[in-house]
A and B are shown apart, each in its own frame.
Chain A
Amino acid sequence: MSDVRVAGTGLTPFGNSPERTGRDLFAEASITAFEASGVPRDDVEAVLYGNFMGELSEHQGHQGPLMAEAAGVRAPATRYESACASSGTAVREAVKRIRNGENDVLLVGGAERMTNLGTAGATEALAIAADDLWEVRAGVTFPGAYALMAQAYFDEFGGEHEDLAHIAVKNHANALNNDKAQYQRAIEVSDVLEAPPVSEPLGLYDACPISDGAAALVLTSESYAEEHDLEAPVAITGTGQGGDRMALHDREHLARSPAARAAGEEAYADAGVDAGDVDLAEVHDCFTIAEVLALEALDLEPIGEGISAARDGRTTADGETPINLSGGLKAKGHPVGATGASQIAEVTDLLAGEHPNSEHVDGATTGVAHNAGGTVASATVHVLEVVA
């Protein structure tokens, strides 16, 4: 089975640019990815594109062919929608296609335009990732759903808001050097604790921002990379996906993410690694509590102990396993359809020594990207390794 090489990565800055269309954002990311890869557009056999709220934010469905066109690619194109895990699922599909010999070169990515909706509009749009009849109509927002999980975690395992605050502080610190990040600004624990409440126990600084942005990856087969002498030392060596019941109240666990655990176990087994091999990870920290649940689901922290990982320095830039060196969704931003592909881009660049924060993971060979949809009714996990 062929390794899947990441030949090129491209990200727009993530942030507040309400005037930019999705097609403009994805065009920019894809130009960067193609230039980095050295792969001609004519060799691309398909475009796999992630997007969540295009109908609401841009009145635009059928975005696959639109984005292929924006990227200057003449090839069949499909949009993947799995809430905030949209481009994670697109990457997974691309990996499977290259492995099974169906394709040698794919353009994969995602984009989201969100800030033009305003805070209330974006909150409403994000909420539809939950069960409309049984959650949204009861007033559950996206932050509210994670707050329900945070309170359940506190009740089951202990911990308090101050523990979560250290996660936000860490991820903001990591974003200081990332010029693509939405917030390149340090914060302190007191900032988090004193911020206005959104859905208690979560406040404004426990939440990722509303963002515009795009991510693109040029993925190739190992044989294509070798034949064309590509500079592509990093491969996606493991892929996994998990699912769970849609509504939180139907789940077996309110303070755990079984879908992410299933995705992680599958991805680790696929790559032939275990959690102990992981040198760094980008995890889906849409809210501070989400990082805790992700670390535990990926076995990077024991159940019930992820809450203290940032506070005690285990996941900081100079800790044992740095988490979210990009700044994470919290500080880098979360243009939802772009996030999964952007995490793969960040891990690739970190492992290749081409990331502003690569110095913190010198010699790292194995990274993980964890992308969650909704309240983790969907999750994808990918393992990336330096192979060349």
Chain B
Amino acid sequence: MSDAESVADAGFDEWLEAAADGEAYFLECANGHGSLPPRRVCPDCGSTDLAESELPDTGNIQTFTVTHVPTPAFEEDAPYANAIADFGSVGITGQVIGVDPGDVETGMTVELEIAISETTAERVIGFRPA
């Protein structure tokens, strides 16, 4: 991740920063389709008129897994639970934190919280049970 330390990912890094400050957002087109940055075009309808909208405070876990064999970037973090949670019109993938991975369930209500990887000290999108 040496490149990631020195080179910014426009759109994504700003989003992580905002989310860490409790100001997470999603992009919304004039037709109400939601998506995540960085993006210039709505993937649903092709609209180029995208505005930032506030992400709902809570989301619901749609599916999850507990990973025991990670990539080297998460070696010290395993086992950890990954989940896909729906926050209104967008889905987000993150790690479920603040709960034993074995206790994660589909339908669980979660709040977004930016966590730190034990392996790389990089920021990781987290979900904490609400």
Nearest A residue to B101 via CB reads A200
- A139 with B63, Cβ < 8 A, contacts A123-B71, A134-B93 known: no
* Number of A interface residues in the complex (CB < 8 A): 38
Contact assessment for B124 and A138 in the assembled complex, using a CB-CB cutoff below 8 Å: yes
| Assembly CA distance A127 to B9 (angstroms) | 19
List A contacts of B70 (CB < 8 A): 123, 139, 141
Contact assessment for B125 and A141 in the assembled complex, using a CB-CB cutoff below 8 Å: no
Find B72's partner among A120, A137, A151, A199 (CB 8 Å cutoff): A120
List B contacts of A133 (CB < 8 A): 9, 12
Interface string of A129-154 (1 = CB under 8 A from B): 00001111111110110011111100
Q: Is B64 an interface residue (CB 8 A)?
A: yes
Q: Measured between C-beta atoms, what is the minimum distance from B2 to chain A in Å? A: 14
Contact assessment for A141 and B93 in the assembled complex, using a CB-CB cutoff below 8 Å: no
Contact assessment for A200 and B84 in the assembled complex, using a CB-CB cutoff below 8 Å: no
**Interface residues on chain B, size class:** 35 or more
Contact assessment for A139 and B65 in the assembled complex, using a CB-CB cutoff below 8 Å: no
Within A199-218, which residues are at the interface with B (CB < 8 Å)?
A: 199-202
Contact assessment for B64 and A199 in the assembled complex, using a CB-CB cutoff below 8 Å: no
Q: Is A302 an interface residue (CB 8 A)?
A: no
Q: Measured between C-beta atoms, what is the minimum distance from B123 to chain A in Å? A: 8
List A contacts of B74 (CB < 8 A): 139
Q: Is B91 an interface residue (CB 8 A)?
A: yes
Within A223-268, which residues are at the interface with B (CB < 8 Å)?
A: 245, 247-251, 254
A-B contact count (CB 8 A): 110
Q: Is B23 an interface residue (CB 8 A)?
A: no
Interface string of B60-78 (1 = CB under 8 A from A): 0011111111111111010
Contact assessment for B63 and A155 in the assembled complex, using a CB-CB cutoff below 8 Å: yes
Contact assessment for B63 and A199 in the assembled complex, using a CB-CB cutoff below 8 Å: no
List B contacts of A151 (CB < 8 A): 63-65, 106
Find B67's partner among A137, A198, A249 (CB 8 Å cutoff): A198
| Assembly CA distance A188 to B64 (angstroms) | 27
Q: Measured between C-beta atoms, what is the minimum distance from A157 to chain B in Å? A: 13
List B contacts of A152 (CB < 8 A): 62-63, 106
Q: Is A18 an interface residue (CB 8 A)?
A: no
Find B66's partner among A149, A200, A249 (CB 8 Å cutoff): A200
Contact assessment for A141 and B122 in the assembled complex, using a CB-CB cutoff below 8 Å: no
Nearest B residue to A204 via CB reads B69
Nearest A residue to B75 via CB reads A120
- A137 with B122, Cβ < 8 A, contacts A196-B68, A250-B43 known: yes
| Most interface-central of A127, A137, A143 (chain B CB within 10 A) | A137
| Assembly CA distance A127 to B72 (angstroms) | 11
Residues in B lying within 8 Å of A, measured CB to CB: 9, 12, 35-36, 43, 62-75, 77, 80, 82-84, 90-95, 106, 117, 122, 124-125
4 A-B pairs with the lowest CB-CB distances in the bound complex, closest first: A249-B91, A147-B65, A152-B63, A124-B71
